[in-house]
Structure 1
């Protein structure tokens, strides 16, 4: 099956009160684990590539791996650029066959963000590609995204309406309390559902996106630490909060940290318990299985998109 855009996916998700999982990919095993889970669950899928992933694996390798996944699985798969920082990287991905791109102008003043986003939208729409914009800034660290708490800002509902109307974006990433990385909350987890409700009411039917939405599953944090890791105090977004958000206009939920933690935890455990093993297929196979397990759990218990294709 050829790669698709998220247009129809988001329409069905919004109407059905569920979200599509957008999973960050870096290598073959991660892609295979995600896709095997989605195939078994009959779930639509977004595979997204960050600037860090492009640098690590080279764009052509990642694109061919995702194309192979679509061909092998028969699933509707979106190939999405995550956190494109300028017009040039968005253009390169569009020209290279991505079906969706994110232009992240959230670091810019409002008018500059609009101008940059509109430029990407115009180029993308002429070529049948959809665009995600961002308004408001998430705290945390992940790949090239580094924002401290002081610089983080929640999305203003009125600005969100103006931004969507003036740019023509197909979806909008908003800031309501999530953050990038494994350390999302110092105290009690909190998402501003009242703000989300206001944005949804002002933009009825419009797909919203939640970044920094890993739950930082305790079992993998504990496994990492048990086998030599040093990840104290990691805390993610409670899954019940994410499920609630999916019923309130959030159509795409980004998940990266949970996959990283699962891979690292299983690798640490396997190598500690099998010190004589040096066949990468053995331990990377275990990592692939861990990714599959996490993604199936997310599809069933968080996203609510199992059986939606």
Structure 2
């Protein structure tokens, strides 16, 4: 078989099965572009920590301005693509009667709104960082936590992705959350609602579902699943995942399932437990 025949076979599969991101046709967001924007956002939130940058008191305004402009320009393009694709291909406007300029304006407005939100995201992530430092005797400084703790990185990306999710941006929040999932082993759906001072210790194998509600000062360990009792498609718009109230600690490999399940304030959930019913405040739940 020659090279031309091999190419023909691949091209034939494109026609048969689709899933090609052609420019100006199936033009949906590009994962690499979204990840690049996410990297700029992380560097904006933690300057000098996420990439090799020469930052001092003289050039910090210039460096910050350069990143802000890059983020707005590049994120606007990707959000515009996601809005057009979703409107035409999925739900709102199957006839294709939608203008590029309308989506561009919405995309640009959302990108600017995210940049405006950066100080608030930094405030929340600082609290998450302090919670990690205070909650782990192995941590020696907040800077060490920022540089090396996968839980803090996953929560940071969640807070960015959640803002976009809450502002109606399709596809892109999931690209962001799945990118950091691949890096850290921590899977937080951007639709989850998570309070302040949230700490994930170690983190590998943590799963937090789309409709989870998590309060303030919650600490969870590796392997914890906050999941659904059923994954039937007709439950798509229902609350499927548990509510975790303030000041709860959940130890390794605990599984808590169901949209009606609430873990009451101040409770401790032991490792390897399986919970499908609500737990009263200040309870201690252990295996067996």
Choose 1 or 2 for highest CA Rg: 2
Higher strand share: 1
Is the TM-score greater than 0.5? no
TMscore range, shorter length: under 0.3
Kindly indicate whether structure 1 or structure 2 has the higher relative contact order, using CA contacts under 8 Å at least 6 residues apart. 1
TM-score (normalizing by structure 2): 0.24
